Homo-oligomer: A and B are copies of this chain.
Amino acid sequence: MSVAIGSHDLSAEQRSRRSGGREARRAMRAAPLADDIRPVRAGLEGGRFKALAQSDLERIHEAVLTLLETVGFANAIPSCIEALTRVGATYSDDGRIRFPRALVLSTIENAARNFTLCGQDPKHDMLIQGRRVHYGTAGAAVHLVDVEKREYRESLLQDIYDAARLVEGLDNIHFFQRPMVPRDIPDPLEMDFNTLYACVSGTSKHVGTSFTVRENVAPALQMLYEIAGGEENFRARPFVSNSNCFVVPPMKFAEDACGVLEACVEGGIPILLLSAGQAGATAPAAIAGAVVQAVAEVLAGLVYVNALKPGHPAIFGTWPFVSDLRTGAMSGGSAEQALLTAACAQMAQFYDLPGGSAAGMADSKLPDVQSGYEKGITNVMAGLSGLNLVYESAGMHASLLGFCLESLIIDNDMLGQCLRCVRGIEVSDEALSIATISEVCLNGPGHYLGNEQTLRLMQTEYFYPAVADRFSPKEWNERGKPDLLGKAIVEKKRVLAERFPRHVSRMTDDKLRVQFGELIKLPRSGMGG
Contact = CB atoms under 8 A, between A and B. Distances in A.
Contact of A376 (B191, B373, B400, B477): B373
Nearest to A48: B50
Given A282-B447, A458-B325, A243 B6 contact: yes
Nearest to A24: B326
A410 B472 contact: no
A150 interface: yes
A170 to B, nearest CB: 15
Interface in A357-399: 363-365, 367-377, 380-381, 384, 398-399
Contacts of A418: 335, 377
Interface stretch (A13-21, A117-125, A227-235): A13-21
Interface stretch (A59-67, A301-309, A492-500): A59-67
A293 interface: yes
Interface residues of A, number: 166
A335 B139 CA distance: 27
A457 interface: yes
A350 interface: no
Contacts of A257: 6
Contacts of A472: 329, 398-399, 401
Contacts of A7: 140, 181, 210, 245
Interface stretch (A129-137, A284-292, A506-514): A284-292
Nearest to A28: B326
A515 interface: no
A470 interface: yes
Please indicate which of the listed interface residues A66, A289, A402 has the most CB atoms of chain B within 10 Å of its own CB: A289
A351 interface: no
Contacts of A470: 324, 327, 329, 331, 363, 399
A499 B88 CA distance: 68
Contacts of A251: 437, 441
A370 B469 contact: yes
A462 B278 CA distance: 14
Contacts of A442: 71, 94
A343 to B, nearest CB: 6
A339 interface: yes
A464 to B, nearest CB: 7
Interface string A399-423: 1111000010010011011111100
